[in-house]
Each structure stands twice: as structure tokens, then as C-alpha cells.
Chain A
Amino acid sequence: MNIIKPDDKITEILKTDPNKGFSLVVEKYSSRLYWHIRRLVIIHEDADDALQNTFINAWKNMGDFRNESSLYTWLYTIATNEALSLINKRKRNAAVSIDDLGSHFANSREGSTWFDGDEAQVKLQNAILKLPEKQRIVFNLKYFDEMPYEEMSKVTSTSEGALKASYHHAVKKIEKLLGGD
């Protein structure tokens, strides 16, 4: 089992041996980034595409990565943008829109194969899907990834105050939707 190196070590290795450094980046972040993307796009195949695009873009733009932000926030920013691009592309194709997870999973092979949640989980995911995209990102990053607001501010290019307010409102909405039955 490979030892996970801290980001500053990986950044140093990237400068001297880019291929080795990038392998370390992929090993360390592929799982985290995948779940972040998956929670936004829902469908596994879409998340798979977006994840691969994320790393390809990161590789192509390694020269733009400066130590002003951490590797972690930089990668999350790319992943978030890939997920949003995919969602917007799906919106243009109305047939693939996902507004209700329950009906989506009931009517597709995807539902039976790649979702293993109970009724409560389906309710939660449906409630999250009803949030506006940006608010959904904030909620997911805070609730599932437990990302500090300072880091989230860099990923979303939004002030910490606005993020806190957004999360607070997201929680209220979800609570209302969960308690609505």
C-alpha cells in the first residue's frame, strides 16, 4: 500500500519528476474527486467521464498551478467546473434531466446497479437535487466533504460569508423537504 504524501511533498516531486508526481496526485485524489463529482451528476458513467477530464485538464495546466492555492483546492475547482459543464450540457438535452432520483433509479439500470440507498437516502438526495446548482455544491462540500469555508471560498470564488449563508439556507430547505412527508 502506498503511503499518501502531503501536498507540499507532491508539489516538489511534480517539479523534478512530473510523471511520478502526477501519479501520486491521481492516487491521492481520484476517489475524493470522484465522489464530489458523483454527488453532483448522480450517474456513474457521467462522473467517470468528468473525473477523467478533471485529471487530464489538471495535467495539461500544471504550469498554471501556483502555490498560492493548495493542490487540493485547485483540483476541487477543476472537478467542480467539469461537473457543472456536464450538468449544463445535460440540461440542454431535456431527455436526460434528473429531477427525481427515485423515478430515475426506478426507470434505469443505473438505479438498481449503482445506488444502494434506503428510502431516507433517496429522500435526502432528492432534496439536495432540488437546490440550485451553486447551493448544491456548497452543501455537498460542507456536509459530505467537511471542507473548511476558507478552502471552499477558493474553490467556488465566493466569500466565506456568502458561503455560510448559502449553507445555512440549504440546510433549512432540506430539513423542510425531509420533514414535508
Chain B
Amino acid sequence: MNKLNEIPDKNPFKVPENYFKEVNRKIISATSGYENEIRKIGFYNKFRPYFLVAASVTGFVILSYIAVTILSPGKKPMQVSEVINEENPELYLNDIDIFTLEENVASMVLSQQESEVSKADIVDYLLQDNIEISDIYEKL
């Protein structure tokens, strides 16, 4: 730094007389008209880091939910019996094949037959209540 050291430590630039007094006055006059930003150092700025963390966590939760919803494997297809219990029973008839339908109908008929009470059973039941047998046969 020899050459630099040889140069006198003098500011070669000049300013007009009373420049700094004038410019200070101009600056203060110009800024007094602006809304004071300092008042904004308040609740928001104080808790800004916490707001940012809360926003990040919320965003992460929402994105995770969306990702899980989109990427999760599809549901197991409903069974026919589940379909028939839903609001659209006609779908059962649209989707079911004829063999399954025949089996289901056959089982329904069989269960009806099994649940049918015979006339003899009815007579026996009524006799237990001391009803005249001639009256019973009239009704049958």
C-alpha cells in the first residue's frame, strides 16, 4: 500500500455551503408527511415467527391429507349384498349375473318354505287355547 499511503488523506469532493443543514431540513420535511411505519411494530411483527410456523404446519397437514387421499389404494369392491342395502337397489339388478340371481331367489324361496307354518301346527296351537275344533275347521 505504498502508493496509496503517499496520497494525502484528504477528501477531494466538495459540497455547496450549508449543504448538510439544508438537506437535513428537506429530508425531515419530506418524511413528516409519510405514515409512520414504526407503529406497525406491534402484535403481528412480535408473533410473526409463530404465525409462520402455524401456517407451515397447516399447509403440511393439508398437503399430507391430499397426498394420502390421492395415493391410497382403492377401496375393496362392495359385495352384492352390500350393494342391495344401499340407496340404489336397482343397481343390484344391473350388475348381478343371472346365476347368482337364480341362487339367491332359490334360497329366498327355500327360506319361505321353511318358515311356512302347517295347518296342523295351527290347529294344535289353537287347541291349546281351548277353542272348539269345529270352529277351527270352519275358519280353515
- Residues on A close to B: CB < 8 A? 14-15, 18-19, 22-23, 26-27, 30-31, 34-35, 38-39, 42, 44, 48, 51-52, 55-56, 59-64, 113-118, 120-125, 143, 171, 174-175, 178-179
CB-defined contacts of A62 to chain B, threshold 8 Å: 36-38
With A175-B2, A175-B3 known as contacts, the answer to whether A51 contacts B34 (CB < 8 A) is: no
Q: Is B20 an interface residue (CB 8 A)?
A: yes
Contact between A23 and B28 (Cβ–Cβ < 8 Å)?
yes
Q: State in angstroms the CA–CA spacing of A169 and B117 once bound together.
A: 112
Selected contact of B14 from candidates A19, A55, A113, A123, CB within 8 Å: A113
Known A-B contacts: A118-B12, A121-B7. Give 14 more (CB < 8 A).
A44-B14, A52-B27, A55-B31, A56-B27, A63-B38, A114-B15, A116-B12, A117-B12, A120-B7, A123-B7, A171-B1, A171-B4, A175-B2, A178-B7
Q: Is B41 an interface residue (CB 8 A)?
A: yes
Q: Which residue of B lies closest to A58 (CB)?
A: B31
Q: Is B8 an interface residue (CB 8 A)?
A: yes
Q: State in angstroms the CA–CA spacing of A174 and B6 once bound together.
A: 13
Sample 16 A-B pairs with CB under 8 A, ordered by A number: A18-B36, A22-B28, A34-B23, A35-B13, A42-B13, A44-B13, A56-B27, A64-B37, A115-B13, A115-B14, A124-B7, A171-B1, A174-B4, A175-B2, A178-B3, A178-B7
User: Nearest Cβ distance between residue B21 and chain A, in whole angstroms?
Assistant: 10
User: Nearest Cβ distance between residue B43 and chain A, in whole angstroms?
Assistant: 13
**B7-47 contacts to A (CB < 8 Å):** 7-8, 10-16, 19-20, 23-24, 26-28, 30-32, 34, 36-41, 45
With A23-B28, A62-B38, A174-B4 known as contacts, the answer to whether A116 contacts B23 (CB < 8 A) is: no
Q: Which residue of A lies closest to B5 (CB)?
A: A175
CB-defined contacts of A120 to chain B, threshold 8 Å: 6-8
Contact between A22 and B10 (Cβ–Cβ < 8 Å)?
no
Name B's interface SS: helix
CB-defined contacts of A48 to chain B, threshold 8 Å: 19, 23
With A60-B34, A175-B4 known as contacts, the answer to whether A26 contacts B13 (CB < 8 A) is: no
User: Nearest Cβ distance between residue A179 and chain B, in whole angstroms?
Assistant: 5
Shortest 9 CB-CB distances between A and B: which pairs? A117-B12, A63-B37, A178-B3, A121-B12, A63-B40, A59-B31, A55-B27, A18-B38, A62-B38
Contact between B20 and A31 (Cβ–Cβ < 8 Å)?
yes
With A30-B20, A52-B23, A62-B36 known as contacts, the answer to whether A38 contacts B28 (CB < 8 A) is: no
